[in-house]
Structure 1
Amino acid sequence: MPEGDTVWLAAQRMQTALAGAVLRRGEFRIPQLATVDLTGATVREVLPRGKHLLVRLGDGRTLRTHFRMDGSWHIYRPGTKWHGGPAYDIRMILSTDEWECVGYRLHDIELVETSEEDRLVGHLGPDVLGPDWDLDEALRRLRASPDEQVGVAILDQRNLAGIGNLYKVETLFLCGVHPWARVADVGNLEAVVTRARTLMLANRHHPEQSTTGIARRGQDHWVAGRKGRPCRRCGTAILLGEQGPPTQERVTWWCPSCQAATSPIDPQARTGEPGRPPPVTLYR
């Protein structure tokens, strides 16, 4: 599941492969940019911004891509067989003399002047894994909507950039916070944000995303993907619901005991059953 740490790692690897090199092949495989050829351009740097990956070129342009749920960049030595999926899933190819970077199922691909990057990522809040991370600003943005559900608020990239659904549910479990609690009712919002950042920092150097400290599949998460299974702390069955506005709902796992509501929330969210998403309130 691509989240901020996945994009961070991809950017580091592509920075190593491409930075300072001249593109021998710069091919788009999407209709809106099919006639654009980046061959001959020099890659200045590759960097992440939340869940967005930016490739800055020496000619003053920036390529932005987004992974969403299923995108990825794969890096190969020339002559190596590509294995990221069928050819029709390839959206971009950036090749140098030494490396071939192949983008599979990428989304939101745009090429703009570097001076106009804010048009693409200027709306984002502080980057959880960025060098300019600003905890106070992230908290200010979250608290600006005190009635929002905390599980929705920390996924809103306008508040803080990089946190995805996995780190949302795992962080809220570890902090004992009900996903449908209002932001205003979260006793220590700073601890929630800090815990999410700690988890992402711990996982950014490798593709595995463990929140338990155990990398083995099936033991790597506290609640994510564990509907109906016993909580690792108290044994209560993990619940599953959907949270978010229409067409943007995200599955949400939680332990009704370890994350018992301590303030009024949507009563239907509190009584969800494994396998049957409870009705929840939408954005206010």
Structure 2
Amino acid sequence: MPEGDTVWQTARRLHTALAGAALTRSDLRVPKYATVDLIGRSVLDVTPRGKHLLTRIEGGLTLHSHLRMEGAWQVYERGGRWSGGPGHQIRAVLGTADRTAVGYRLTVLNLIRTPEEDGLVGHLGPDLLGPDWNPGRALGNLLADPARPLGEALLDQRNLAGIGNIYKSELCFLTGATPWLPIGALPRDRAAKLPALAHRLLTANRDRPVRTTTGRRGQDLFVYGRAGRPCLRCGTVVRLADQDGRPAYWCPSCQQGPMD
């Protein structure tokens, strides 16, 4: 599933392509919205909220989408060849005189009144890349259930919005705890630094074409995707296990706590 920085980049690309222009093409390929026609309405802005995308359209409408595991928005020049996948995977097309945005494999697509956005994203915690970012509130949310495994708490978008499985694994490594350590067992000083660390990592990567948490060229991540390979810090073999249906990577030497 795309992480918050990827969604932020997608929103910026869509905003640059569509905002301020009237739609000359509108095609929502979802049965519920098959007869909706947005042609002639201007796109006001495209805003990310955690892992959600909110495309606000003239007339008080918002097109809400979530990329989930396979979704993507692609932007093409007028007349350009669409290359994001076969036609049957297209769920939305929004076009202006100059650009066309095509949404592929969007399993979540809603057209709502803009004042109703809170019904879809109001449950989210502070957005790591949003104007509502609040590290104190995020920390309070994380520590509200002390027995919860650290990795699960970080992935819960109700605690703080924008962390996916990559950042979960990297944050656990940088904090020196396995993903299964109860968050309440994390030393208070390390727990207190978690929100700021997460914010720093996502902010640093929102403008980068290649995500990195290490600062090392060619060795972009400390543990994620490195199962069976040596830890970049100590040389111990990085391990991989399932955590609540998702892969968790960790170094058994650098990270303390339960090992799944």
One fold, TM greater than 0.5? yes
Match of 1:154, SS? helix
TM-score by length of 1: 0.88
Residue 277 of structure 1 is matched in structure 2 by: none
Alignment of 1:148-187 (within 5 A): 148-187=148-187
Residue 24 of structure 1 is matched in structure 2 by: 24
Residues in 1 aligned to 2:194 and 2:172: alpha-carbon distance in whole angstroms: 7
Listed as ranges, the gaps of 5+ residues in structure 2 are none
> What percentage of residue pairs aligned between the two structures are identical?
52
Residue 65 of structure 1 is matched in structure 2 by: 65
Cα root mean square deviation, aligned: 1.2
Match of 2:139, SS? helix
- Give the superposition deviation at 1:221: 1.1
Q: 2:246 aligns with which of 241, 246, 250?
A: 250
Match of 2:12, SS? helix
Equivalent position amino acid for 1:93 in 2:
V
Match of 2:156, SS? coil
Alignment of 1:1-284 (within 5 A): 2-187=2-187, 188-216=190-218, 219-244=219-244, 249-261=245-257, 265=258, 270=259, 280=260
- Would you say the 8 A contact 1:124–1:157 is kept in 2? yes
Residues in 1 aligned to 2:89 and 2:223: alpha-carbon distance in whole angstroms: 31
- Give the superposition deviation at 1:190: 2.4
Residues in 2 aligned to 1:98 and 1:209: alpha-carbon distance in whole angstroms: 30
Aligned length: 258
Equivalent position amino acid for 1:143 in 2:
L
Residues in 1 aligned to 2:203 and 2:75: alpha-carbon distance in whole angstroms: 23
- Give the superposition deviation at 1:214: 3.4
- Larger RCO, structures 1/2 (Cα 8 Å, 6+ apart): 2
Residues in 2 aligned to 1:233 and 1:69: alpha-carbon distance in whole angstroms: 30
- Would you say the 8 A contact 1:230–1:238 is kept in 2? yes
Match of 1:54, SS? strand
Residues in 2 aligned to 1:140 and 1:260: alpha-carbon distance in whole angstroms: 23
Residues in 1 aligned to 2:205 and 2:86: alpha-carbon distance in whole angstroms: 28
Q: Which 4+ residue blocks in structure 1 deviate beyond 6 angstroms?
A: none
Residues in 1 aligned to 2:43 and 2:217: alpha-carbon distance in whole angstroms: 35
Residues in 1 aligned to 2:209 and 2:71: alpha-carbon distance in whole angstroms: 14
Residues in 1 aligned to 2:186 and 2:209: alpha-carbon distance in whole angstroms: 31
- Would you say the 8 A contact 1:227–1:240 is kept in 2? yes
Residues in 1 aligned to 2:101 and 2:186: alpha-carbon distance in whole angstroms: 43
Match of 1:93, SS? strand
Match of 1:111, SS? strand
TM-score by length of 2: 0.96
* 1:8-48 Cα shifts (integer Å, max 9, x gaps): 01111111111111111111112222222221221111100
Residues in 2 aligned to 1:39 and 1:215: alpha-carbon distance in whole angstroms: 45
